[in-house]
Chains A and B, each alone.
Chain A
Amino acid sequence: MGQRINRRKFKGLSRRELLKLTPVLAFGAFAISPLQKSLLKTGLEFNDWASARLFRSGHLAPEFDDFHVVPFSEFPINGYDVDDPGVNFEKWTLTVTGEVQKPGDYTLAQIQSLPQKRQNTRHVCVEGWDVIGRFGGARLSDFLNMIGADPSARFVSVECADDYYESIDMATAMHPQTLLCYEMYDQPLTRPHGAPLRLQIPTKVGYKQAKYLTDLKVSRVLDRVGYWEDQGYSWFYGL
């Protein structure tokens, strides 16, 4: 038997204990439309911050034996707009601007003169599907060296022939598995897969890996973040 207390006092005690839970009502803010938007935006930004903190430059994405690679025909083609923006391969160059020592137009041959890296890695789509494919290209880090990119610049952004645009953090750009990809399955990139050049980043989700590259910019601030990010997706989305 515990301490004696009269009924009224017990009611008061119960009420005080109940009132302690009022902070839970703060969730109601999520039901208010303008607040909801900014709260979810803050949530996404915190999530991106945490994702960047979790990213380890030396940690490699798993690479797989050829046995695990799906047939080329089963590697999905996901464009946001068109499957073929009609790039003229003869005239194609990658236009480099921003915080670099050697801006200008770079040909595919120049990019292909860099050491080639081939890798079987998992492609993860934001929708939830994943597929292991085989990719080949030049390390973006090698290319950034070639153009004399300022390593203290924070971002690498790209623009594409289909008006898609994307940007990534410098740490991911310098990651040894981040490729300027011009090959899939040991064959030149096909048009639906982003010919002549796309980003292939096994440490990022699919929509970060832009196709049909035409422009590359190294910068300290971002003019534009990314097509899907502007619709509300996460910017960092590291895997």
Chain B
Amino acid sequence: MATRTLTIEDARTGELNEAVYEHPFVVRLCHWVNSVALFVMAGSGLQIFRAFPSFGAKIPEKDLINWPRSLAIGGWLGGALQWHLTFMWIYMATGLLYLGYQLFSGNYKQVLFVPRDVPGVWPMVRHYFFFGPKPPLKEAYNPLQKHAYTSALVLGVLSVLTGLVIWKPVQFSWLGWMMGGFHWARLWHFLILWAFMAFVFGHLVMVVLHGWNNFVSMLTGWKKDPEYRSE
């Protein structure tokens, strides 16, 4: 897919800026709708977890953590289930719309981490965490970014699959069997939540570090003077 670019001309100063359309409308829509859905799913999920905060037997019950109710959504188990069972449809719908759009538009190439990206991972890690030099950016996302976004997509798919097993362990018994049964599906679902939280934390830190221009691109689609085009 050819990337849409524009040259912005300032009539008074004659200054030229370049802008690239990085995020198509469907991607932006899915991003924001899904952010809200994920927030509600995590919050209500933690309230559901409060009803039985363990992954062992009911008798004797050994609680893992006592998650505070103020950091959860729904107020009680029944309320949380209403949120969870309502927003899971929104969560799945945006997920499917996103995946379908990316696949058919070819836009997935911008996000998908492929073997070709592997050599670029270490220089990027060195830059982010060990004060290494900044590797030149050749495309919209660097290899580490692609890795993070692709992982988030995998987590999204896994959260739905494990969730389906918890929701319908009998109808999806074959899927449950692959995960080790209902009991394990519940544990995987919980671990995926924390993996997601780790991603969201890292994502938000990077958004702050990369500044306003980068943030605006997820709202308007257009990024002004992206560094990978300026050289």
Contact = CB atoms under 8 A, between A and B. Distances in A.
A3 B7 contact: yes
B194 interface: no
Contacts of A125: 52, 58
B170 A59 contact: yes
Give the residue among A21, A56, A203 with the most B Cβ atoms within 10 A: A21
A27 B36 contact: yes
B9 A6 contact: yes
A13 B222 contact: yes
Main secondary structure of the interface of B (DSSP, over half): helix
A18 B219 contact: yes
Given A17-B222, A239-B168, A5 B8 contact: yes
A21 B219 contact: yes
Interface string A129-147: 1110000000000000000
Nearest to A239: B170
Contacts of A7: 8-11
A160 B28 CA distance: 53
B86 interface: yes
Contacts of B58: 74, 76, 125, 129, 131
Contact of A54 (B32, B78, B171, B186): B171
A231 B78 contact: yes
Interface residues of A, number: 57
Given A2-B18, A14-B220, A24-B33, A62 B86 contact: no
Nearest to B173: A62
B4 interface: yes
Interface in B184-204: 186
A54 B171 CA distance: 7
Contacts of A6: 8-11
Interface in A1-58: 1-8, 10, 13-15, 17-18, 20-21, 23-24, 27, 39-44, 46-47, 51, 54-56
Contacts of B33: 24, 27
B52 A128 contact: yes
A18 B220 CA distance: 5
Contacts of B29: 20-21, 23-24
A157 B33 CA distance: 40
Given A40-B86, A239-B169, A1 B7 contact: yes
B214 to A, nearest CB: 14
A187 B126 CA distance: 66
Interface size class of B (residues with CB under 8 A): 35 or more
B160 interface: no
B170 A126 contact: no
A234 B85 contact: yes
Interface in B5-34: 5-11, 18-19, 25, 28-29, 32-33
B66 interface: no
B77 interface: yes
A225 interface: no
A207 B25 CA distance: 44
B57 A124 contact: no
A223 interface: no
Contacts of A128: 48-49, 51-52, 186
B169 A43 contact: no
Interface of A: 1-8, 10, 13-15, 17-18, 20-21, 23-24, 27, 39-44, 46-47, 51, 54-56, 59, 61-62, 70, 73-76, 122, 124-131, 202-203, 228, 231-234, 238-239
Interface of B: 4-11, 18-19, 25, 28-29, 32-33, 36, 48-49, 51-52, 54, 57-59, 61, 77-79, 81-83, 85-87, 89, 168-171, 173, 182-183, 186, 216, 219-222
Q: Which 7 A-B pairs have the closest CB atoms?
A: A43-B86, A2-B5, A128-B52, A232-B78, A127-B51, A129-B58, A14-B220
Given A6-B10, A42-B86, A125-B52, 11 more contacts: A2-B19, A7-B9, A7-B10, A17-B28, A21-B28, A24-B29, A73-B59, A74-B57, A127-B51, A131-B57, A232-B79
26 contacts: A1-B7, A1-B18, A2-B7, A2-B18, A4-B6, A5-B6, A6-B8, A6-B11, A7-B9, A7-B10, A14-B216, A14-B220, A15-B220, A17-B219, A21-B28, A23-B29, A46-B89, A47-B86, A54-B171, A62-B173, A76-B59, A126-B77, A127-B51, A128-B49, A129-B61, A239-B170
